[in-house]
Amino acid sequence: MHVISRKRLCEFWERERDAEQALKAWFHEAEKAWWRNSAELKKQYGSASIVNAERVVFNICGNKYRLVVRINYAGRTVFIRFVGTHRQYDRIDVETI
């Protein structure tokens, strides 16, 4: 998958240093993935929350942080929509961010 954009992840882990390794690992796994649908993604990430056909929420650092992405499965593209703490996550609308 093509992940857009790593820069958002980097900006976050510069503020939250303990998230760096987990986000780097997620990024590399996502780049190597070839998910055709949310069911295939769920096989790899059982704890991910499927919001709808395009939105997925990943738990990062043992659920300390949240990563929200929009996925275009046909185009093999993952768009980073949000990465933040639970407190920040609670203030967003995961379906529209």
Q: Where are the domains of the chain?
A: 2-89
- Percent of the chain past pLDDT 90, that is, above it, reads 93
Whole-structure pTM value: 0.94
- Tell whether the model's pLDDT for residue 5 goes beyond 90: no
**Per-residue confidence at 84, pLDDT binned at 50, 70, 90?**
very high
pLDDT at residue 49 above 90? yes
Q: How many CA atoms lie within 13 A of 84 on its CB side?
A: 11
Q: Output the pLDDT for position 32.
A: 96
Q: Find the angle CA(49)-CA(50)-CA(54) to the nearest 5 degrees.
A: 140
- Classified as helix, coil or strand, 45 is coil
CATH of domain 2-89: 3.30.2310
Higher pLDDT, 63 or 79: 79
The mean pLDDT value for 2-17 works out to 95
Q: Is residue 50 scored above 90 in pLDDT?
A: yes
* Max intra-chain CA distance, the chain: 34
Average pLDDT value over all residues in the chain: 95
Query: Would the pLDDT of 34 be above 90?
Result: yes
